[in-house]
Amino acid sequence: MFNDAMPPSVANLIEAFSRLPGIGPKTASRLTFFLLKSPDHLSLSLAEALTNLKTKTKLCNICYNITESDVCTICASTKRDKTLIAVVEEPLDVLALERTGVYRGLYHVLHGVISPIEGIGPDDLKIKELLVRLQNQPDVLEIIIATNPNMEGEATAMYLKRQLEPMGLKITRLARGLPSGGDLEYVDAVTLLRAIEDRNEM
């Protein structure tokens, strides 16, 4: 990709940036040369942040959200509504729902959706962990299925409903105010707020 005029250390960083989603070769080059000209502390703090990201983070033992401790701050909080669990696809969806400032329940992060085309089945997600969690938490009364309103999200929601129905819990789905085919992380707070408040029983 690069000729001999490009030092390997520069070429390697451009290549690394290019592998990130949404970053093409030109943006990768601009980022690399920006860091090259910047004060040392900027590059070093970025390197430290990346190292910490991989060495300090793990999944919460209860909800499987990203955390630095065994139990995340949401699961550990005494101010959350323990009777309510929102099941989401990814940790980014937790951030999206938290931005509304209205949802006060707990979460369960699946880490993906059922997608036969990509070879992802129910066993590849944190669904079994959810079922075990519900058996150990009898105070849960309602499950909000907050998967994205696209084909994979709908398939996952229907599978979850079938698994959860025998438990006798109230099962709701975020209201259809969400755009079809959209992702929660890109939805504005007002739309998400309306979807939470107008959620429907499945």
For 10-29, write each residue's pLDDT tens digit.
999 999 999 999 999 999 99
Considering the domain architecture, whether residues 91 and 174 belong to the same structural domain is answered as: yes
User: What's the CATH code of the domain at 23?
Assistant: 1.10.8.420
Nearest CA-CA partner of 167 in 196, 126, 197, 133: 133
User: Is residue 139's pLDDT more than 60?
Assistant: yes
Considering the domain architecture, whether residues 21 and 83 belong to the same structural domain is answered as: no
Assess if residue 193 is contained within a domain. Answer: yes
Give the structural domain span for 100. Answer: 59-201
Considering the domain architecture, whether residues 40 and 119 belong to the same structural domain is answered as: no
107 close to 88: Cβ distance less than 8 angstroms: yes
Q: In which band, very low, low, confident or very high, does the pLDDT at 34 lie, cut at 50, 70 and 90?
A: very high
Q: What angle do CA 132, 133, 139 make, to 5 degrees?
A: 125
Whole-prediction pTM: 0.78
Considering the domain architecture, whether residues 43 and 140 belong to the same structural domain is answered as: no
Considering the domain architecture, whether residues 157 and 75 belong to the same structural domain is answered as: yes
Considering the domain architecture, whether residues 73 and 122 belong to the same structural domain is answered as: yes
User: What's the CATH code of the domain at 179?
Assistant: 3.40.1360.10
Out of 56, 73, 96, pick the residue that ends a domain.
56
Q: In which band, very low, low, confident or very high, does the pLDDT at 4 lie, cut at 50, 70 and 90?
A: low
Would you state the torsion angle of the CA atoms of residues 136, 108, 193, 173, taken in this order, to the nearest 10 degrees? -80
User: Is residue 72's pLDDT more than 60?
Assistant: yes
Considering the domain architecture, whether residues 100 and 182 belong to the same structural domain is answered as: yes
Considering the domain architecture, whether residues 38 and 120 belong to the same structural domain is answered as: no
105 close to 85: Cβ distance less than 8 angstroms: yes
Q: Which residue has the tokens 């190292």?
A: 51
pLDDT at 45: 95
Considering the domain architecture, whether residues 74 and 27 belong to the same structural domain is answered as: no
User: Is residue 1's pLDDT more than 70?
Assistant: no
Considering the domain architecture, whether residues 96 and 65 belong to the same structural domain is answered as: yes
Nearest CA-CA partner of 28 in 13, 47, 41, 43: 13
User: Is residue 94's pLDDT more than 70?
Assistant: yes
Q: Which residue has the tokens 């000729």?
A: 3
pLDDT at 177: 60
> Number of folded domains in the chain?
2
Q: In which band, very low, low, confident or very high, does the pLDDT at 190 lie, cut at 50, 70 and 90?
A: low
Assess if residue 3 is contained within a domain. Answer: no
Out of 41, 56, 71, pick the residue that ends a domain.
56
Q: What is the pLDDT of residues 144-189, one digit of tens each?
A: 999 988 889 989 999 999 999 999 999 999 876 656 566 777 776 7
pLDDT at 178: 58
